[in-house]
Amino acid sequence: MGKAADRRMASKAKYLAELAATDPKMFQMEWEKRMDGWIFEIRTRAEKFANAKANPMKPAFEVIAKAQKILKEIRLNSGFNDHSSINVLTDEYCKKLAYLIDERLYRLSIKPRRK
């Protein structure tokens, strides 16, 4: 990322940290909005990554890393701790890639076979 993108990300993280400390309900709405956007971006990148010949695109783990940075900044400034957001984003990426490649690669609820 360039300097301007880094400043924007730091500004967003600072805003979210202040919001988490002062108005948790509004913070939750903002965080859900960002999660929805990241999930959409992850799905788009997964589709383009799976069809690399058509439109090469970087893997969605960059989006997840960006979310981790913002979450770390929020945690440092407000004490807010969210353990599930990164897992949700990672699971969404793995599910989408598995769906595009072979659904057997990733199953959330696998019952072991009994012999």
Q: What digits encode the pLDDT tens for the residues 18-29?
A: 888 888 899 889
At residue 7, the pLDDT reads: 87
How far is Cα 8 from Cα 30, in angstroms, rounded to an integer?
16
At residue 37, the pLDDT reads: 93
At residue 39, the pLDDT reads: 92
At residue 110, the pLDDT reads: 53
Residues of the chain with pLDDT below 50 are none
Position 24: which residue type? Answer: P
- Cβ neighbours for 50, distance < 8 A, ≥ 6 positions apart: 97, 100, 101
At residue 56, the pLDDT reads: 61
At residue 90, the pLDDT reads: 87
